[in-house]
């Protein structure tokens, strides 16, 4: 008895189905051996967030769904598969991209039916630092700034989500004083929304506070393409600047180690030695920056001799050290004079001045 036509057609369909099914199983087997799938599976099975949500993982779905798009120097992949835990199950979705021949995870989520979506890759806060002078200036490890000084804050983010080459991140800053009162708030202090070939971005911020005191700074950063949010917090201290002062001014004869001339009377042709101390200067990154201007005025306050910036001192210094200045004036004719000294603290744009009368006979 010959097989019926219907039987033959059914047999052909069965054979085709077996061939196609076998081909599909081979494709699945090969894909599960690929780097994108292995990276995705490793991320999911090692995620403590998933264990918290659905319990210890029992297995991953046998038949993942995937789409890989590859060009000459660029590739991306999108993978979905079930994740079965002891208490619940969900659907993992992973996005990857290839850079310089290396596959990297761009983003990953776990969706649990009827529940929230869980992000598996939180924002990475690579670095959070305070600086003086500029955002690339010296680290300010003490977080102490003088009143009126700019506060430079650098925050480096990693693992940003990128869609079609675009990243979008927002930064908000809130500042409270030591009593908990909000003194500054800007939820959109900086926003970056552009095409980019990186998943790392650096926020460089500048703040200035109007009163001395201790402040609490909170910075919220959001990856707006995924809704991931992270917060960093720290304290800074704003101190009143020191005021530079001239102290222990002396006029001397016969050298800087000579006799103090308390009368202020000198002979014509005699060299006048002046010395004084400077205190209360401000340090910036451990250095002082002090300038001196020196003038000799006649009885009508007209300059008969002048030397702006006669001395300039910029070097490392300790706060408790005193700066000694020494000046020499000569070749003055007989008359009544005033010696005017100006000391400039260039680290804080403040100065002190002193006028001392003397005579030459």
Give the lowest-confidence range in 89-93, 270-274, 314-318: 314-318
- What is the C-alpha to C-alpha distance for residues 145 and 286, in angstroms, rounded to an integer? 13
In sequence order, the β-bridge partners of residue 273 are 252, 328
Q: Residue 274 — very low, low, confident or very high, per pLDDT cuts 50/70/90?
A: very high
Residue 252 has pLDDT above 70, yes or no: yes
Domains of the chain listed by start with CATH number: 11-119 (3.10.450), 124-239 (2.70.50.60), 245-360 (2.70.50.60)
pLDDT at 219: 95
Answer yes or no: are the C-beta atoms of 341 and 294 closer than 8 Å.
yes
pLDDT at 303: 93
- What is the C-alpha to C-alpha distance for residues 24 and 324, in angstroms, rounded to an integer? 87
Answer yes or no: are the C-beta atoms of 39 and 105 closer than 8 Å.
yes
Residue 320 has pLDDT above 80, yes or no: no
90 closest CA partner among 121, 61, 47: 61
Residue 79 has pLDDT above 90, yes or no: yes
* Cα-based torsion angle of the residue sequence 311, 314, 318, 319 in order, rounded to the nearest 10 degrees: 70
pLDDT at 296: 95
pLDDT at 7: 53
Q: Kindly state the average pLDDT of the residues 220-234.
A: 86
Residue 212 has pLDDT above 80, yes or no: yes
Residue 8 has pLDDT above 60, yes or no: no
pLDDT at 24: 57
Q: What is the mean pLDDT of the chain?
A: 86
pLDDT one-digit tens code per residue, 85-128: 999 999 999 989 887 888 988 888 888 887 767 778 777 888 89
């Amino acid at each position: 008895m010959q097989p019926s036509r219907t039987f033959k057609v059914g047999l052909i369909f069965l054979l085709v189905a077996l061939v196609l099914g076998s081909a599909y199983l081979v494709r699945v087997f090969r894909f599960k051996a690929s780097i994108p799938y292995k990276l995705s599976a490793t991320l999911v099975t090692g995620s403590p967030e998933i264990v918290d949500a659905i319990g210890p993982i029992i297995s991953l779905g046998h038949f993942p769904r995937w789409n890989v798009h590859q060009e000459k120097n660029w590739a991306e992949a999108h993978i979905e598969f079930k994740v079965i835990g002891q208490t619940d199950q969900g659907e993992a979705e992973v996005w990857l991209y290839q850079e310089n021949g290396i596959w990297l995870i761009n983003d990953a989520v776990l969706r649990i039916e009827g529940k929230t979506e869980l992000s598996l890759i939180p924002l990475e806060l690579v670095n959070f630092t305070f600086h003086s002078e500029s955002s690339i200036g010296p680290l300010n490890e003490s977080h102490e700034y003088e009143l009126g000084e700019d506060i430079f804050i650098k925050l480096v983010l990693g693992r940003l989500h990128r869609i079609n080459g675009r990243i979008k991140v927002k930064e908000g800053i809130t500042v409270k004083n030591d009593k908990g009162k909000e003194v500054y708030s800007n939820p959109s202090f900086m926003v970056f929304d552009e095409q980019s070939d990186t998943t790392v971005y650096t926020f460089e911020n500048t703040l200035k506070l109007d009163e001395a005191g201790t402040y609490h700074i909170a910075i919220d950063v959001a990856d707006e393409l995924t809704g991931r949010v992270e917060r960093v917090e720290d304290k800074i201290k704003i101190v009143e600047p020191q005021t530079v002062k001239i102290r222990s001014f002396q006029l001397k004869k016969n050298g800087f180690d000579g006799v103090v001339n308390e009368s202020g009377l000198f002979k014509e042709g005699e060299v006048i030695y002046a010395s004084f101390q400077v205190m209360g200067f401000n340090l910036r990154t451990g250095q002082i920056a002090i300038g001196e201007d020196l003038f000799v005025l006649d009885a009508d306050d007209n300059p008969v001799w002048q030397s702006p910036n006669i001395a300039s001192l910029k070097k490392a210094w300790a706060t408790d050290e005193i700066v000694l200045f020494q000046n020499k004036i000569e070749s003055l004719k007989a008359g009544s004079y005033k010696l005017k000294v100006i000391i400039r603290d260039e680290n804080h744009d403040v100065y002190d001045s002193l006028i001392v009368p003397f005579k030459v006979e």
